């Protein structure tokens, strides 16, 4: 009987396979040239090839309760006779959870893709979706709106990891393909960490492979370039005029229309106009000569020299005259005497890894890598979907750092980079700039380049309750690249790239002048009587969404306008202003006849030196761990005596987009509150501190906060964000929601074309994961499960969530190996290239350098804040047996600087 049933089954499979094979052939013929073009194929391209070795028998996944037939083309004989294609039952999609683990133990494949690879041959595979049939969905797909634990429930909704497709093995089709995916097993236990003390960065890393491998006729491109640039200029101007005149495209709406607009905006940059034109022209030429594949175009352009763009359309760097004996400039020019524009304000950020733009030119990444094998695009999960999948707002406090670390690193980030959102000149008044509103308007407006809104799922667990389906987001201004060459889009940095305390003094001399008293070398302070003697930065005009409630509680003015963001930033700005004036007063007592300018510049130099010392001596060891700091190749270890290495004028300090957009963003450390209490003893929720002068001017607020920042533990460095950070950042008073900083950071990464997580690991010389299973070597298994639930392929993972999920490198520090590579490289170059760095020869005398090396953040806080009576010696680290709270008197006994040493520099 069993043999009879088996015989019927075989006959049915054979008959059905023949019918299905014919149906599949018809489906192949339905594909048009337009559908095949993105894959690099013509309509008459051969879709058959060879597959060495027999297809192995597969065991059906019992959990899926569904199978799909996949036709595998056999070897084509020399005589041209073709064997009948065989049919195998393959699982519909890879499974999550225990069944995957069980199959792995039995040596079985977890997906039909792996079945193809395990034949011993790695063919180029083209995935085709079946037409005219309804495909069943796997039961166990994870839901993004709740914590992923084990197997998901049937009603859960999310993007599937992989669908079932007809597989045609194609020979000589140069189409990039994703690696076979082995899903994570569901098991308990934490993995270890990766050991890495130095990183072999691939400085010659090639861009992502082109979508197709077709030659580009460069002579035709060269001839078409002048017209392309002319059309790009016209298109740009039409876009500006259209946004400003279309009544369906509101611009420059009230602040509450989009919280994402209010924290990093500036006037429209004329330097960016050339960048817009170059990007538009590059996209046009890619469509005209490379079927939309900008990577092929850019790859050829890189070797064409500086003559590609017509001379009249080129962007040239400005000439700069440097005073070699003068102080550090405010805008960052002339810090490198051989390359005076290195690190200057309003120049491009750089890249460590390849760009991941969808078109290779400037369009943000939108589709999964598996789309390259299909006849239709498969979208990436939205930024909000990733946020919801990865963060469940779990309260996990840090075992390493205090809230002071959180505030200091945000200060450092604001010093090094400011990625202004795109603004466009107002058609009615070109001297002014406007910001488009991207949500809740005509779709034609959303399609305009500045708009890149974050779409929200209808069943969003927070925003969905309020009917919100869109979150405001405007793209960063692109930077103009000097010379007459094509290049991919890179974001602009509107502040100096140097570690120069620009957040205190500004990146323009005009800004600094407004912050100075112009007497005794001092900086202005707030004169509001309501402060009752507390020292704060001076009052300023309403800006970036801050609105003064009255004349006694004005918004404040700082070197960087982002100091208005929340009370913690106001407190840190107050600390630096106090420190500057303390040094000024001490030196003025010793040298009262010194001019205001001379005294101010020396104090600015001293404050910057103390700040640089704290960054390298206290902050970086926390972030990277001692092993990386102590490795000589990284050049991060400070000397105990003598001068450091001379500056290297061939090194650029430019801030990498991977650093600014992913690896030096510590929002995950924030809690739902700041450590200051109301009259009932409850800590104020964080959203009450945003852009709120009423909070800043409360009696004792600034000093109480400065002290308690050192006593409160930060949240853990992981993918879990506090609820307010994920849903209510910059929440208006009359609104229930704000923005999601997790989604915002991820969206900004796609806006900037950040390399994917796996590509950055490769760039840093680390092992590149080929499947989700590989991630378990360096990540918590729970995070791997979450990543596998929301991304289709391991190569789809964005850098930000991937890096947050990594365990600390070498088992110490905060960051995993990928971001440790990025951060170590950035601070190595910042120190190497800075000829004004505090430990370089000639910047300070050796006796003055000895005094600076005494400084700690705790000692400076004890000096300038009356709220400090005691503290941990390392106030950015949590209290421990090795870091016990001690009196300020004891701290200052070891760390107080002898100001007479610096007074001698004024003689």
Query: What pLDDT digit, counting tens, does each position of 249-281 carry?
Result: 555 443 333 433 333 344 455 567 788 888 888
Residue 147: pLDDT over 50 = no
How far is it, in rounded angstroms, from Cα 813 to Cα 233?
A: 49
CB of 417 within 8 A of CB of 493? yes
Q: What residues does each domain of the chain span?
A: 2-170, 218-493, 502-739+813-868+895-906
Compute, in degrees rounded to 10, the torsion defined by CA atoms 5, 11, 15, 18. 120
- Among 282-296, 602-616, 775-789, the range scoring the smallest mean pLDDT is 282-296
pLDDT of residue 79: 36
Q: How far apart are CA 573 and CA 556, in angstroms?
A: 10
What residues have CB less than 8 Å from 180, skipping those under 6 apart? 111, 113, 114, 116, 117, 770, 771
Q: What is the mean pLDDT of residues 822-842?
A: 97
pLDDT of residue 234: 79
Mean local confidence (pLDDT), 73-82 = 35
Lowest mean pLDDT among 234-248, 281-295, 445-459, 507-521: 234-248
> Annotated binding residue at 752?
no
Please state, in angstroms and rounded to a whole number, the distance separating the CA atoms of residues 775 and 796: 13
In this predicted structure, the answer to whether residue 597 has a pLDDT above a threshold of 60 is yes
- C-alpha 376/C-alpha 367 separation (Å) is 10
Q: Which of the residue ranges 30-44, 58-72, 652-666, 710-724 would you say has the lowest mean pLDDT?
A: 58-72
Q: What is the average per-residue pLDDT within 478-504? A: 90
**How does residue 182 score in pLDDT terms, banded at 50, 70 and 90?**
low
Pairwise CA distance, residues 631 & 637, whole Å: 8
Residue with tokens 């109480």: 704
- Looking up tokens 């019918």 gives 19
The Cα 617–Cα 609 span in angstroms is: 12
Position 48 pLDDT exceeds 90: no
- Asked whether residue 399 carries a pLDDT value surpassing 70, the answer given is yes
Tokens of 469: 């389906």
Residue 113: per-residue pLDDT? 36
Question: What local confidence, expressed as pLDDT, does residue 206 receive?
Answer: 46
pLDDT value of residue 318: 78
C-alpha span between 730 and 566 (Å, rounded): 9
**Residue 734 to residues 260, 463, 687: CA-CA distances in angstroms?**
16, 15, 12
Under CATH, which architecture does the 502-739+813-868+895-906 domain have?
Orthogonal Bundle (1.10)
Render pLDDT for 526-560 as a digit per residue (tens, 0 to 9).
Answer: 999 888 888 999 999 988 889 999 999 999 999 99
Kind and range of the H or E element at 612?
A: helix 596-614
Integer CA distances (angstroms), 747 to 383, 681, 793, 812, in order: 6, 37, 19, 29
When comparing pLDDT for 780 and 170, which is higher?
Answer: 780
State the SS3 of 298-353. Answer: HHHHCCCHHHCCCHHHCECCCCCCCCCCCCCCCCCCCCCCCCCCCCCCCEECECCC
Say yes or no to pLDDT of 685 above 70.
yes
Residue 815 has pLDDT above 60, yes or no: yes
Residue 136's pLDDT is 40
Chain segment 380-395, per-residue pLDDT in tens: 999 999 999 999 999 8
Closest CA to 564 of 528, 602, 536, 525: 536
pLDDT value for 665: 97
Query: Sorting pLDDT into bands at 50, 70 and 90, what band is 233?
Result: confident
What's the mean per-residue pLDDT of the chain?
Answer: 77
The residue among 669 and 440 whose pLDDT is bigger is: 669
Predicted pLDDT of residue 813? 92
Q: What is the pLDDT of residues 414-464, one digit of tens each?
A: 999 999 887 766 656 767 776 777 886 666 554 456 789 999 999 999 999
Closest alpha carbon to 748 in 352, 423, 264, 251: 264
Cα–Cα distance measured from residue 157 to residue 146, given in angstroms and rounded to the nearest whole number? 11
User: Does the pLDDT of residue 336 top 80, yes or no?
Assistant: yes
């Amino acid at each position: 009987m069993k043999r009879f049933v088996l015989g019927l089954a075989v006959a049915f499979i054979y008959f059905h396979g023949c019918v299905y094979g014919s149906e599949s052939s018809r489906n192949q013929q339905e594909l048009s040239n337009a559908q095949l073009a993105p894959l690099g194929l013509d309509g008459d391209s051969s879709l058959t090839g060879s597959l060495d070795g027999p297809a192995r028998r597969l065991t059906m996944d019992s959990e899926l309760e569904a199978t799909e037939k996949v036709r595998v083309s056999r070897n084509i004989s020399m005589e041209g006779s073709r064997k009948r294609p065989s049919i195998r039952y393959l699982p519909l999609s890879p499974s999550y959870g225990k069944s995957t683990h069980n199959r792995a133990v039995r040596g079985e494949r977890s997906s039909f893709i792996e079945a193809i690879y395990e034949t011993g041959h790695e063919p180029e595979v083209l995935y085709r979706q079946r037409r005219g049939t309804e495909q069943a969905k796997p039961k166990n797909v994870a839901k993004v709106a709740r914590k992923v634990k084990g197997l998901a429930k049937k009603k859960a909704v999310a993007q599937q990891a992989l669908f079932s497709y007809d597989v045609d093995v194609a020979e000589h089709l140069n189409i990039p393909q994703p690696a076979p995916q082995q899903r994570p097993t569901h098991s308990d236990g934490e993995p270890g960490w990766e050991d890495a003390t130095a990183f072999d960065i691939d400085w010659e890393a090639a861009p992502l492979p082109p979508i197709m491998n077709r030659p580009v006729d460069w002579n035709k491109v060269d001839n078409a370039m002048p017209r392309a640039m002319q059309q790009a200029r016209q298109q740009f101007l039409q876009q500006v005029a259209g946004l400003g005149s279309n009544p369906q495209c509101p611009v420059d709406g009230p602040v509450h229309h989009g919280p994402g607009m209010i924290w990093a905006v500036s006037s429209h940059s004329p330097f960016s106009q050339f960048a817009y034109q170059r990007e538009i022209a590059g996209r046009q030429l890619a469509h005209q000569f490379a079927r939309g594949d900008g990577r092929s175009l850019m790859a050829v352009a890189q070797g064409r020299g500086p003559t590609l763009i017509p001379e009249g359309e080129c962007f040239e760097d400005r000439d700069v005259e440097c005073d070699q004996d003068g102080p550090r400039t405010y805008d960052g020019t002339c810090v490198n005497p051989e390359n005076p524009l290195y690190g200057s304000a309003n120049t491009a950020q750089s890249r460590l890894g390849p760009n991941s733009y969808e078109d290779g030119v400037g369009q943000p990444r939108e589709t999964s890598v598996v789309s390259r094998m299909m006849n239709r695009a498969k979208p990436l999960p939205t930024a909000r979907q990733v946020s919801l999948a990865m963060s469940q707002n779990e309260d996990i406090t840090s075992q390493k750092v205090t809230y002071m670390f959180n505030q200091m690193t945000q200060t450092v980030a604001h010093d090094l980079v400011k990625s202004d959102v795109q603004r466009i000149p107002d058609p009615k008044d070109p001297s002014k700039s406007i910001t488009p509103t991207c949500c809740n308007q005509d779709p034609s407006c959303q399609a305009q380049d500045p708009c890149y809104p974050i779409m929200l799922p209808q069943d969003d667990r927070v925003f969905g309750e309020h009917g919100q389906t869109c979150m405001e987001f405007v793209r960063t201004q692109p930077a103009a690249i000097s010379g007459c060459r094509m290049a991919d889009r890179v974001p602009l940095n509107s502040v100096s790239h140097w570690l120069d305390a620009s957040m205190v003094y500004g990146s323009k001399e005009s800004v600094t002048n407004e912050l100075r008293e112009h007497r005794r070398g001092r900086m202005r302070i707030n004169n509001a009587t309501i402060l009752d003697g507390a020292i704060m930065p001076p009052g300023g005009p309403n800006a970036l969404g801050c609105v003064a409630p009255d004349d006694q509680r004005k918004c404040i003015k700082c070197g960087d306008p982002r100091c208005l963001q929340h009370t913690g930033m106001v407190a840190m700005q107050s600390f630096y202003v106090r420190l500057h004036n303390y040094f000024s007063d001490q030196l003025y007592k010793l040298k009262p006849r010194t001019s205001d300018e001379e005294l101010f510049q020396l104090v600015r130099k001293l404050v910057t030196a103390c700040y640089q010392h704290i960054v390298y001596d206290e902050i970086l060891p926390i972030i990277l761990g001692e092993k990386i700091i102590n490795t000589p190749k990284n050049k991060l270890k400070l000397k105990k005596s003598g001068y450091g290495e001379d500056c290297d004028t061939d090194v650029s300090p430019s801030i990498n987009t991977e650093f600014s957009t992913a690896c030096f963003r510590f929002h995950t450390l924030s809690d739902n509150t700041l450590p200051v209490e109301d009259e009932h003893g409850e800590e104020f929720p964080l959203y009450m501190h945003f852009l709120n002068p009423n909070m800043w001017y409360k009696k004792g607020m600034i000093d109480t906060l400065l002290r308690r920042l050192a006593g409160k533990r930060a949240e853990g460095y992981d993918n879990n964000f506090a609820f307010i950070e994920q849903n209510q950042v910059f929440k208006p008073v009359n609104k229930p929601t704000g923005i999601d900083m997790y989604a915002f950071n991820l969206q900004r990464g796609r806006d900037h074309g950040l390399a994917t997580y796996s590509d950055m690991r490769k760039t840093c010389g680390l092992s590149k994961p080929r499947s989700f299973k590989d991630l378990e070597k360096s990540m918590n298994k729970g995070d791997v499960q979450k990543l596998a639930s929301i991304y289709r392929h391991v190569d789809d993972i964005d850098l930000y969530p991937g890096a947050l999920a990594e365990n600390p490198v070498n088992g110490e520090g905060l960051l995993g190996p990928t971001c440790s590579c990025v951060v170590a490289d950035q601070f190595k170059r910042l120190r190497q290239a800075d000829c004004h760095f505090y430990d370089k020869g000639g910047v300070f005398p050796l006796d003055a350098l000895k005094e600076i090396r005494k400084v700690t953040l705790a000692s400076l806080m004890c000096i300038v804040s009356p709220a400090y009576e005691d503290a941990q010696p390392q106030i950015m680290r949590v209290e421990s047996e090795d870091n016990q709270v001690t009196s300020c008197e004891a701290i200052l006994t070891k760390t107080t600087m002898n100001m007479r040493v610096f007074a001698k520099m004024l003689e």
